[in-house]
């Protein structure tokens, strides 16, 4: 039987705080979502000024990155390169850059999704949050 690390509430708090600090330092109003390895929501935080729709988009990006075990940008690139049929992939709705998997000891244990600014900046915030784990 295999074992793998799991996210604890303190991990969520640490990642969310780091992502929030990074976003605020840049003056970016975003929503930060964290999902477990099955794409289930564990954390949702909408900063002041972030548009309401960003809560839906951030959560979808986190879910997509967790289920696919890869950054959500991979799917955006596939679609932009002409494979539009990939839009019908089941359970993947956040196929935009900004969802980043959380990988610890070679295991995807969840993902962070961010929405509210440019997609490259969303991904930057997500990575800043994940970096707080020190994994």
Provide the pLDDT for residue 86.
85
With residue 122 as reference, give the H or E element that holds it: helix 119-131
CA dihedral 66, 125, 122, 110 (to 10 degrees): 10
Of 108, 134, 110, 113, nearest to 123 by C-alpha is 113
Query: Which pLDDT tens digit goes with each residue over 104-128?
Result: 999 999 999 999 999 999 999 999 9
**What is the percent of the chain with per-residue pLDDT over 70, rounded to a whole number?**
99
Task: Please give the CATH topology (third level) of the domain spanning 9-131.
Answer: Beta-Lactamase (3.30.450)
Of 34, 39, 40, nearest to 16 by C-alpha is 34
Q: Is the pTM of this model over 0.85?
A: yes
Of 7, 6, 50, nearest to 28 by C-alpha is 50
**What's the whole-number average pLDDT of the chain?**
96
Answer whether residue 135 shows pLDDT above 90: no
Answer whether residue 26 shows pLDDT above 90: yes
């Amino acid at each position: 039987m295999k074992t793998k690390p799991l996210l604890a509430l303190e991990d969520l708090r640490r990642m969310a705080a780091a992502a929030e600090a990074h976003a605020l330092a840049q003056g970016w109003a975003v929503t930060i979502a964290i999902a477990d390895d099955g794409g289930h929501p564990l954390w949702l935080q909408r900063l002041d000024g972030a548009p309401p729709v960003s809560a839906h988009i951030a959560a979808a990006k986190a879910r997509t990155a967790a289920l696919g075990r890869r950054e959500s940008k991979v799917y955006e690139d596939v679609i932009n390169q002409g494979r539009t049929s990939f839009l019908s992939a089941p359970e993947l709705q956040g196929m935009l850059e900004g969802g980043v998997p959380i990988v610890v000891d070679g295991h995807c244990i969840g993902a962070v999704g961010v929405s509210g600014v440019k997609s490259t900046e969303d991904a930057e915030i997500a990575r800043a949050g994940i970096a707080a784990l020190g994994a």
